[in-house]
């Protein structure tokens, strides 16, 4: 069950990182999420979630990515750096 939750968290954080990147791209044409009539508190919450998502993705990328780590992406306990090997 824990494995499913981590995939869910990755999906959410990855989506937020993409949204943040697209928002940066929109700034080329002077568009921004904040200009879409959203309350400033909601905009600040979105920015904070995007930033936290980026931190999560950067810190967990190495052991999840199959290109960066041939053993990555398997989600078995012995491949996760913070979980001791199972016998």
Contacts 24+ apart (CB under 8 A), 55-64: 56/9, 56/13, 57/10, 57/13, 57/14, 57/17, 60/10, 64/10
Question: For residue 4, what pLDDT is reported?
Answer: 47
Residue pLDDT, tens place only, 12-46: 888 899 988 998 898 888 888 777 888 989 889 98
* pLDDT-wise least confident of 18-22, 35-39, 62-66, 71-75: 71-75
């Amino acid at each position: 069950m824990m494995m499913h939750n981590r995939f869910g968290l990755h999906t959410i954080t990855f989506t937020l990182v993409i949204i943040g990147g697209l928002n940066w791209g929109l700034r080329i044409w002077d568009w921004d999420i904040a200009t879409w009539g959203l309350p400033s508190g909601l905009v600040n919450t979105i920015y904070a979630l995007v930033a936290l998502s980026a931190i999560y993705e950067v810190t967990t990328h190495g052991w999840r990515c199959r290109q960066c780590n041939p053993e990555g992406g398997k989600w078995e306990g012995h491949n996760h750096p913070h979980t001791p090997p199972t016998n």
